[in-house]
Amino acid sequence: MRAMILFCMMLAFLLFSGCNPNDFGLLPPQGMKQIPGGTFQMGDTLYSVEQPVHSVTVSSFYMDTTEVTQGDYLALMGVHPRYCFCDSGSLWPENGISWFEAVLYCNARSKRDGLDTVYSYDSVSLLTYGLAGLAIDFAKNGYRLPTEAEWEYACRAGTMTDYYWGGSFPPTTLADTLTIDSNAVWREGNNGPKRVGGKRPNAFGLYDMIGNAYEWCNDWYDAYSAGAQTDPTGSSSGLYRMLRGGLWLYTDPVCLRSAWRFRAVPFDGSTLHPGFRCVRR
């Protein structure tokens, strides 16, 4: 209680003195939520790719409240991804993006905001958007893609049910399906994604963690280990990067579970129309 009183007094002083509390790290960056650190059980028993369920501790971090929008991406990068489903609007999620394009956006956003870039590389291949000599420095304060552990922890927002809004798979009643409809963009077919933030947020105040656009994670695909982990960053190499969160096209609610994992080649934004959101340490 004493710490909270001191924090409020400091915040009030800064506000009345004309200072920006963001300059002192007291408030989340614009458009982001602070995700408190904690420990959770990651994975599920339904599919082997989600096993074994294991204990993971995640440090506090900032995460975009919504998926990066088409308007934000275009304003910073000057052009949409080549496979974008982009006839919707500026407040719709950017999609059809490769993992590498998402990384380049993260770096550009870091530079725009005067932060250290997390990703470094020697050259860019215009054919595959591959980044030669790619290195990732998690100690930097700039923007990056979330690790799988950060993503699932933020998605669950303290829940351990199949769906972060509660309830188990499979839905068995019309009420179950209507609840999914109020929380996730799915079953849209060729209608494409929908405006971000149009469904209910999870308990952390994050929108569209499930449904709308798939979201890239930072990790290479790898099988889970059984041991407890702290701030895991995944394998150092691989063939596939991880996608999380389901897609507006899906009609199967199994893909809307918090533990659902999908692996994709990092340069392919053509078939699953992936999007992304950024985090900061």
18: in domain: no
Four-CA torsion 236, 135, 114, 242, nearest 10 degrees: -40
53: in domain: yes
Report the distance separating Cα 134 and Cα 123, nearest Å: 9
254: in domain: yes
Q: Quick one: which of 193, 183, 238 has its CA closest to 215?
A: 193
Task: Provide the pLDDT for residue 134.
Answer: 94
More confident residue, 188 or 127: 188
Show the DSSP H helices in 122-190 as ranges: 148-156, 174-183
**pLDDT over 70 at 265, yes or no:** yes
Task: Provide the pLDDT for residue 3.
Answer: 43
10: in domain: no
Q: Could you tell me the residue range of the domain that residue 130 belongs to?
A: 33-280
13: in domain: no
88: confidence class by pLDDT, cuts 50, 70, 90: low
**Residue 164 parent element (H or E):** none
3: in domain: no
How many domains does the chain fold into? 1
Tell me the one-letter amino acid at 71.
G
Rounded to whole angstroms, what are the CA distances from 83 to 55, 70, 89, 119, 267? 37, 13, 15, 23, 11
User: Rg of the Cα trace of the chain?
Assistant: 19
The enclosing domain of 70 has a CATH number of: 3.90.1580.10
CB-based burial of residue 234 (10 Å sphere; 0-12 exposed, 13-18 middle, 19+ buried)? middle
